Amino acid sequence: MRMEHMKKKKGFSRRDLLYKGLLFVVTVTLIVYFLPRDGKFNYQFDINKPWKYGQLIATFDFPIYKDDAVVNREQDSLLASFQPYYLLDKQVEKDAIAKLKENYHTHLKGILPSVDYLRYIERTLKEIYGAGIVSTENIQELHKDSTSAIMIIDDKLANSKPTDHIYTVKKAYEYLLSADTTHFNREILRQCSLNEYITPNLTFDQQRTQTAKEEMLNNYSWANGLVVSGQKIIDRGEIISPETYNILESLRKESIKRSESIDQSRLILGGQILFVGMLMLCFMLYLDLFRKDYYERKGSLSLLFTLIVFYSVVTAFMVSHNIFNVYMIPYAMLPIIIRVFLDSRTAFLTHVITILICSISLRFPHEFILTQLAAGLVAIFSLRELSQRSQLFRTALLVILTYAAIYFAFELMTENGLANDFSKLNARMYTYFIINGILLLFTYPLLFLLEKTFGFTSNVTLVELSNINSDLLRQMSETVPGTFQHSMQVANLAAEAAIRIGAKSQLVRTGALYHDIGKMENPAFFTENQSGGVNPHKNLSYEQSAQVVISHVTDGLKLADKHNLPKVIQDFISTHHGRGKTKFFYISWKNEHPDEEPNEELFTYPGPNPFSKETAILMMADAVEAASRSLPEYTEETISNLVDKIIDSQVAEGYFKECPITFKDIATIKTVFKEKLKIAYHTRISYPELKK
């Protein structure tokens, strides 16, 4: 049996280790995949502003690129002088002349007075075709682009020709009619339908033109100078002149270009994998060493890693595609969610890890990191427990004010003369901060989705469950009023004790209200619900009575399942008696059977024993409150002795061995119980009778 248990544990450990390893690899892979891998030039500068960094020395040779305005102007000038290419088709001329001669023998001879007209038309057509004829569409494009000349390709030779010397069909027709009006009559020529012999013989060569244009632009010189390695560019405090600004811009462009090479890209990728991997490894070590319960619970681990991946990927995507501004992303939502479900330290560390990873995507990460860390701290400390929507409104407002204050502080430190000219502030940034705060309000509905997905229970849900007007609690107050009153008293005791030792008071209060719901199945078998002196246990054996009492735990779990109570609430139902015994029936049986050994399981609750501070507090409060009702008198001494006796007995029987609770905590809990019970059972004032 022991070997089988060890094998199961070993198998579970391997599966658990595999899950965590896979989660780590998938997380790092997803984050790094979306991170931008362009080079960083982490300097902010502007013309006529002082250089606020240290001395800048060139670490490599780089050209001084021309200003964008100069580049546009020079390239526009080149394109304006560019000559597009046209192909000359000589066959068009041959076909036209052949058609002219053929028509002369068929019908033109009867129209033309002499053969000189034929020779004139043939000669002029050759002249026109030699110059070139283009279509109306092509000539319109040439005029639109203000093209003054074109390149005509004739027998693999390209010759430039002004567009003024090129004919259109209309222009060629007019020229045929009017080239020699002295010797040839226009009216006679018009009767010959000369437009039949005029066809464009120049066709636009798209491919050759595009190739030539690209070659011309590729040969364009983008630089007008060179900075050599080791050359000083600028020093701290120097005013950035237009020339220096151009050099700094050139350095920025060249740095980005160099980072895009394959070797540099691989180095950047390797650095990103190492950086993200180390951060995530440190995070997992923190969980393993200081938050073992989160580390062992898949839901907690999955939530933490999912949030880190989500924010990192969204940030990288927005930066890479230049979508909106990253200050619109509600980063403070992350620590709020983790604070609500887990604890503040884990929330802040997760926030730090996430912000550091997100900063890789940004060009100027330092301001981003400081601003987001400040906002995250404010969010955590302003929202200890989220139980009302109004708390989130307050937190959102504080986060907006924090963003605004930090940004304003940076502007005061970095902008020259801002103290005298607040118009230099970027008002758009404050709009981003307001949008950020508005998006932060969506934390409240998002909590419900995360609860269902990862199996958590938030304070919001606990507050809703602790409403005594809820269906199950109302039914309990009607069916087992004595048990309901007992549960209310236990809830008050346990919640106060939880507050004193730093446990989750709302959780233990809600758990206390539901811990005895199983008694609704057999109300009369429990003394607090009995009336009229009727005790149904009189007709049962001790074993049967013990089983009926024990069944309120299993019945309670069934009811909890039926009403979809969270697992954390069901834990209070199953652990409030632990593996203890129904002592009244157990001791009674032993007294009647002194020479026999009882079947221990018939008198033992199914358990398990408490495994958290909250479940331990409930076990103590439940036992103390129930026992306090049987005290013959309520004095400071009797109450103190009762509390000490019951809790010391529970400690001695080992009920709290699995709990992270200390002796100091137990001593504090005892003190709280004594104080609360003294107040609850203090002697009332006797009002005097009115004498007649």
Q: Give the per-residue pLDDT at 106.
A: 85
Confidence of residue 179 (pLDDT cuts 50, 70, 90): confident
Q: Give the per-residue pLDDT at 260.
A: 64
- 513 contacts 487 by C-beta, under 8 angstroms: yes
Q: Across-strand partners of 157?
A: 154
Q: Give the per-residue pLDDT at 246.
A: 86
Beta-carbon contacts of 674 under 8 Å, excluding residues fewer than 6 positions away, are: 636, 639, 640, 643
Q: Tokens at residue 256, please?
A: 């980005």
- 58 contacts 229 by C-beta, under 8 angstroms: yes
Q: Give the per-residue pLDDT at 261.
A: 64
- In this structure, of 200-204, 402-406, 521-525, the range with the lowest mean pLDDT score is 521-525
Dihedral-angle region of residue 220 (phi above 0 means left; psi in -120 to 50 means alpha; beta otherwise)? beta
**Percent of the chain scoring above 70 in pLDDT:** 92
The pLDDT of 357-378, averaged and rounded, is: 91
Q: Which of 45-54, 374-383, 388-397, 582-591 has the highest mean pLDDT?
A: 374-383
> Which string of DSSP letters, residue by residue, matches 337-361?
HHHHHS-HHHHHHHHHHHHHHHHTT
The pLDDT of 191-201, averaged and rounded, is: 88
Domains of the chain: 21-38+263-453 (no CATH), 45-62+226-258 (no CATH), 75-218 (no CATH), 459-680 (1.10.3210)
Residue 627: which of 458, 507, 489 has the closest Cα?
489
- 578 contacts 605 by C-beta, under 8 angstroms: yes
Q: Is 90 exceeded by the pLDDT of residue 586? A: no
Buried b vs exposed e over 103-132: b needs ≥16 C-beta within 10 Å?
bbeeebeeebeeeebbebbbebbeebbebb
What number of CA atoms fall less than 13 Å from residue 654's CA on the CB side? 3
The pLDDT of 190-219, averaged and rounded, is: 88
- In this structure, of 39-53, 135-149, 650-664, the range with the lowest mean pLDDT score is 39-53
> Which string of DSSP letters, residue by residue, matches 471-519?
HHHHHHHHH-HHHHHHHHHHHHHHHHHHHHHT--HHHHHHHHHHTTGGG
Q: How many residues belong to the chain? A: 692
What average pLDDT does the chain have?
86
Q: Is 70 exceeded by the pLDDT of residue 399? A: yes
Q: Is 60 exceeded by the pLDDT of residue 692? A: no
Confidence of residue 458 (pLDDT cuts 50, 70, 90): confident
Q: Give the per-residue pLDDT at 11.
A: 47
The pLDDT of 617-642, averaged and rounded, is: 90
- 327 contacts 355 by C-beta, under 8 angstroms: no
Residue 545: which of 583, 590, 585, 578 has the closest Cα?
585
CA 86 to chain centre: 56
pLDDT tens digits, residue range 506-546? Answer: 999 999 999 999 999 888 777 776 666 667 777 778 788 88
Task: Look at the block and give the residue holding tokens 């110059």.
Answer: 131
Q: Give the per-residue pLDDT at 263.
A: 65
The pLDDT of 220-225, averaged and rounded, is: 80
Q: Is 50 exceeded by the pLDDT of residue 370? A: yes
Query: Measured between alpha carbons, how far is 307 from 292 in angstroms, rounded to an integer?
Result: 19
Q: Tokens at residue 411, please?
A: 């502007």
pLDDT tens digits, residue range 96-153? Answer: 999 888 888 888 888 888 888 888 888 989 999 888 999 888 888 887 777 788 888 8
Q: Give the per-residue pLDDT at 279.
A: 97
- In this structure, of 6-10, 112-116, 124-128, 615-619, the range with the lowest mean pLDDT score is 6-10
The pLDDT of 233-252, averaged and rounded, is: 84
Q: Is the peptide bond before 608 cis (omega within 30 degrees of 0)?
A: yes
Number of H helices, E strands in the chain: 28, 10
**Residue 540: other Cβ atoms inside 10 A:** 15
Provide the whole-model pTM: 0.68
Query: Measured between alpha carbons, how far is 171 from 133 in angstroms, rounded to an integer?
Result: 9
pLDDT tens digits, residue range 286-312? Answer: 999 999 989 988 999 999 999 999 999
CA 362 to chain centre: 15
Query: Measured between alpha carbons, how far is 606 from 480 in angstroms, rounded to an integer?
Result: 23
Confidence of residue 69 (pLDDT cuts 50, 70, 90): confident
The pLDDT of 438-464, averaged and rounded, is: 89
Residue 550: which of 562, 539, 542, 561 has the closest Cα?
542
Q: Is 80 exceeded by the pLDDT of residue 285? A: yes
pLDDT tens digits, residue range 17-34? Answer: 899 999 999 999 999 999
Q: Is the peptide bond before 330 cis (omega within 30 degrees of 0)?
A: no
- Greater confidence (518 vs 252) lies with 518
- Greater confidence (223 vs 9) lies with 223
* Beta-strand relationship, 232-234 and 149-154: unpaired
